[in-house]
């Protein structure tokens, strides 16, 4: 009898085939696994080892100290100070973030606005990432938090660094301020430091213009983290490169004196070296405390700044444009002399009014000044003389003279947001108003009214060029780090020396001869005398009826309806060294307070001349090697 029948033999063959197929399949799987293991451990092992190490070790950005901003004598105008702050770690707040904030609010003052910001920051960060709750705490507040720390789960006190402005609102329109990074900032700047909690960058002024240099280069901290990204320990630390120091041309003593003299008036004043363009003082009042923007403004504080009719946020020196009024008359005088019209024999009779084209143009002196030449017209600020002179000269030559003095264009000072003012021309009016230039337009320009506007910074450049005869431009920054800022060669103005001397003589008489419009407020100290030009800029048009019945005095009008008051000057009269411009918005009055302010500031500046004082600015390697000392002030 056979061992297997046919049926059993068939079953045996089927089993054998299936076993073989299963064996082949399992062998294939093991082959694939072996190949994969070979790939992971042998061929790509080094790569995956590196990636695993990268997951274990995290490199984090460490911000460096921000560079200082200093005046010409090394006085620190912006620096860093300790920042006592409180952080919260959401996952450690056992009773909840809201409850933790309420608990902190019982120890230090926390506004609803601060609490809402913390909740927003926690929502966009991981729960183990510390989020700022309050910064720039006083030592007393910081001590209270530490004292109650056992009862404040999730709260972490920290000591860091923050920007500080020791002199508050002084120089705020030069320095600017730092503030929190916005989403728009992150889109235009890919610096990883901008993603750090609480990091701040320059928003205005020098802080913004030189933010990259002052910011420095970030350091790095290598830390070991677990699978959730939580720090276990620090493995190493590479310090960053501190930001570069910026040395300004400003003299803080003069700046402080100017701010004190301007007080809380809506005013601007700028002092400039006529020989090299160094800006000695740059004052726009009222100001505001830049430390508030670093700490964080409340809604009430922001409204008080934006709704103030004295415009504390506006940098009036370079961002405010005004009709220059009679301070523009030296420009017309130069154009007339160069054109051969205002010769020594040229006189215009003034009876208080000038009739042209059926319209009356009035002189500020209702009874008139009588016969005037160019020097006496400058001294007395005779409007009628300049009406007739400008009519003969024409707008084209007036525009040319104004542009030679730097009017109608930005000066190029190292601050963002400068405005260029306006010097009108035939082409400009045709393009803007689609109408031809009229001679009546020229008469308005003759006395600095009509279409012409300028910033105080442009006006100080104008008077500095007249005083020096050179095409100087204002500058604020002397040195950044070890790099002295270069300046181009200052060439001579394209005016004859006779024309410049004639205009200077007229300006000298304004302040130093009886009858001059600024004579009562002259500098009487021998050797410090100034030459200057007063100006009044109308802010509204007077009707013929108002002229007929007599104009209401400025002091009897609402503040916003009063004329602006301007004064430009240089000193000393012999070998000029400093130029000054002051403007008081709606401040035109008989006592001429703006002239008195400028006089006091200009005298203080001269008496503080650094020629015999300690050296200004740091010594560069080149100057140290040659034994030279860099001095400020010209």
Three-state DSSP at 25 gives helix
Q: Is 623 a catalytic residue?
A: no
Distances (CA, A) of 361 to 283, 358, 369, 459, 604: 35, 10, 15, 25, 39
CB of 579 within 8 A of CB of 464?
Answer: yes
CA distance 444 to 437: 12
Tokens representing residue 573 in the block: 């009269």
CA distance 230 to 222: 13
CA distance 354 to 249: 46
> Exposure pattern of 506-533 as b/e (b: 16+ CB <10 Å)?
bbbbbbbeeebbbeebbbeeeebbbbbb
CA distance 25 to 218: 57
DSSP letter at 435 equals S
Tokens representing residue 370 in the block: 């009588």
Tokens representing residue 588 in the block: 């035109």
| Residues in contact with 127: Cβ distance below 8 Å, sequence separation at least 6, in sequence order | 89, 90, 91
Distances (CA, A) of 443 to 65, 446, 514: 57, 5, 28
Tokens representing residue 267 in the block: 């005013």
Q: Where are the beta strands (DSSP E) in 243-402?
A: 246-248, 267-273, 279-285, 348-350, 353-356, 359-362, 370-372
Three-state DSSP at 511 gives helix
Tokens representing residue 299 in the block: 């809604």
CA distance 485 to 215: 18
Q: Calculate helix-pair angle for 329-338, 456-468, nearest 10 degrees.
A: 40
| Residues in contact with 416: Cβ distance below 8 Å, sequence separation at least 6, in sequence order | 204, 205, 208, 209
CA distance 131 to 174: 32
- Using left for φ > 0, alpha for ψ between -120 and 50, and beta otherwise, residue 216 falls in left
Angle at 338 between CA 531 and CA 354, to 5 degrees: 75
CA distance 482 to 499: 42
Indicate the burial class of 569 (C-beta count within 10 angstroms; 0-12, 13-18, 19 or more). Answer: buried
Q: Calculate helix-pair angle for 383-393, 329-338, nearest 10 degrees.
A: 40
Q: Which of 242, 326, 425, 582 is catalytic?
A: 326
CB of 57 within 8 A of CB of 223?
Answer: yes
Query: Which residues are marked as active site?
Result: 326
């Amino acid at each position: 009898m056979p061992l297997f029948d046919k049926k059993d033999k068939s079953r045996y063959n089927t089993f054998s085939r299936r076993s073989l197929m299963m064996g082949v399949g399992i062998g294939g799987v093991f082959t694939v696994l072996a190949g994969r293991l070979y790939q992971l451990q042998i061929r790509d092992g080094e790569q995956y080892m590196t990636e695993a190490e990268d997951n274990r070790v995290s490199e984090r950005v460490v911000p460096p100290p921000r560079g200082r901003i200093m005046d010409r004598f090394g006085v620190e105008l912006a620096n860093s100070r300790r920042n006592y702050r409180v952080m919260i770690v959401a996952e450690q707040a056992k009773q909840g973030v809201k409850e933790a904030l309420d608990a902190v609010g019982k120890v230090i003052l926390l506004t609803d606005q601060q609490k809402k910001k913390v909740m927003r920051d926690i929502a966009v960060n991981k729960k183990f990432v510390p989020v700022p709750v309050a910064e720039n705490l006083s030592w007393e507040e910081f001590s209270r938090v530490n004292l109650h720390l056992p009862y404040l789960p999730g709260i972490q006190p920290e000591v860091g660094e923050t920007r500080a402005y020791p002199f508050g609102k002084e120089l705020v329109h030069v320095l600017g301020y730092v503030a929190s990074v916005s989403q728009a900032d992150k889109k235009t700047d890919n610096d990883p430091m901008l993603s750090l909690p609480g990091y701040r960058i320059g928003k205005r002024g020098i802080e913004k213009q030189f933010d990259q240099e002052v910011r420095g280069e970030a350091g790095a901290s290598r830390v070991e983290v677990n699978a959730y990204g939580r720090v276990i320990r620090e493995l190493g630390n590479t310090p960053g490169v501190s930001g570069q120091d910026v040395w300004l041309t400003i003299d803080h003593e003069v700046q402080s004196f100017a701010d004190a003299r301007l007080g809380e008036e809506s005013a601007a004043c700028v002092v400039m070296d006529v020989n090299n363009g160094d800006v000695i003082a740059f004052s726009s009042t009222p100001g505001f405390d830049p430390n508030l923007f670093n700490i964080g403004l409340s809604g009430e504080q922001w409204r008080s700044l934006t709704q103030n009719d004295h415009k504390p946020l506006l940098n009036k020196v370079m961002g405010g444009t005004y009709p220059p009024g009679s301070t523009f008359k030296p420009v017309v005088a130069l154009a007339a002399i160069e054109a051969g019209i205002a010769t020594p024999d040229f006189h215009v009779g003034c009876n208080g009014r000038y009739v042209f084209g059926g319209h009356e143009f009035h002189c500020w002196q209702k009874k008139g000044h009588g016969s005037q030449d160019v020097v006496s017209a400058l001294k007395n600020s005779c409007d009628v003389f300049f009406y007739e002179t400008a009519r003969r000269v024409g707008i084209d030559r007036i525009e040319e003279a104004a542009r030679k003095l730097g009017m109608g264009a930005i000066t190029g000072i190292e601050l963002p947001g400068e405005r260029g003012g306006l010097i009108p021309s035939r082409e400009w009016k045709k393009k803007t108003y689609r109408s031809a230039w009229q001679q009546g337009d020229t008469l308005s320009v003759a006395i600095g009214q009509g279409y012409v506007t300028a910033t105080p910074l442009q006006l100080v450049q104008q008077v500095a060029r007249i005083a020096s005869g050179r095409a100087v431009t204002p500058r604020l920054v002397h040195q950044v780090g070890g790099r002295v800022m270069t300046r181009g060669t200052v060439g001579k103005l394209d005016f004859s020396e006779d024309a410049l001397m004639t205009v200077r003589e007229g300006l000298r008489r304004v302040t130093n001869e009886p009858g001059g419009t600024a004579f009562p407020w002259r500098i009487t100290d021998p050797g410090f005398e100034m030459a200057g030009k007063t100006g009044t800029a109308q802010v509204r048009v007077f009707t013929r009826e108002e002229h007929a019945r007599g104009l209401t005095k400025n002091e009897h009008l609402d503040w916003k309806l009063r004329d602006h008051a301007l004064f430009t000057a240089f000193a000393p009269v012999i070998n000029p060294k400093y130029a000054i411009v002051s403007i008081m918005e709606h401040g035109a009055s008989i006592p001429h307070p703006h002239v008195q302010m400028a006089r006091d500031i200009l005298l203080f500046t001269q008496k503080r001349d650094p020629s015999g004082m300690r050296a200004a600015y740091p010594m560069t390697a080149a100057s140290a090697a040659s034994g030279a000392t860099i001095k400020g002030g010209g």
